[in-house]
């Protein structure tokens, strides 16, 4: 069932470069409502748990190290067709392949440090939102 919600993180490279404001502005201007938001930092253990689905991929260790290297902003976003529309707004995983005007094209440094996360399905959006936010925070 489509929930009209997705989950995002502004990743350590974008937070470190002071891109939080610019990225949130693009998110709001694209019509997403911020349901829940948190400025925090992942431990290695929690980054490993969040990305457990990628544990067989060759870059898993690098990804976990990177995602626990600095502060992040986690948020649940709401909009009709949220998952697909947000994937379009952020652009391709590799910023060199991302379309002009997308968040990754504008703000990402590399395929690893690619500025933002966006859920790839309604099911994962719910799992990822639950990872960061309690039921009370997901009003």
- Binds ligand GDP by CB under 6 A, chosen from 120, 122, 124, 127: 120
107, 117, 132, 133: the catalytic one is: 117
5 binds ligand GDP (CB under 6 A): no
Distance of closest approach, residue 22 Cβ to ligand GDP, in angstroms: 19
Q: Is position 54 annotated as part of the catalytic site?
A: no
Which residues lie across from 10 on neighbouring strands? Answer: 73, 116
| Cα 138 to Cα 72, 76, 131, distances in angstroms | 18, 8, 11
Structure tokens at 112: 């690893």
The number of C-alpha atoms within 13 Å of 91 and in the hemisphere containing its C-beta is: 21
- Binds ligand GDP by CB under 6 A, chosen from 68, 72, 98, 117: 117
122 binds ligand GDP (CB under 6 A): no
Active site residues: 117
């Amino acid at each position: 069932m489509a929930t009209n919600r997705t989950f995002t993180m502004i990743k350590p490279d974008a937070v470190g470069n002071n891109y939080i404001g610019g990225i949130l502005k693009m998110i709001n201007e694209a019509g997403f409502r911020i349901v829940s938001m948190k400025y925090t930092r992942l431990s290695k253990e929690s980054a490993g748990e969040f990305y457990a689905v990628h544990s067989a991929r060759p870059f898993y260790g690098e990804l976990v190290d990177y995602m626990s290297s600095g502060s992040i902003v986690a948020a649940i976003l709401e909009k009709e067709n949220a998952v697909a529309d947000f994937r379009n707004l952020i652009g391709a995983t590799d910023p060199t392949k991302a379309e002009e005007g997308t968040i990754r094209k504008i703000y990402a440094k590399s395929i690893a440090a690619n500025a933002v996360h966006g859920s790839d399905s309604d099911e994962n959006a719910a799992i990822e939102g639950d990872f960061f936010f309690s039921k009370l925070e997901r009003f």
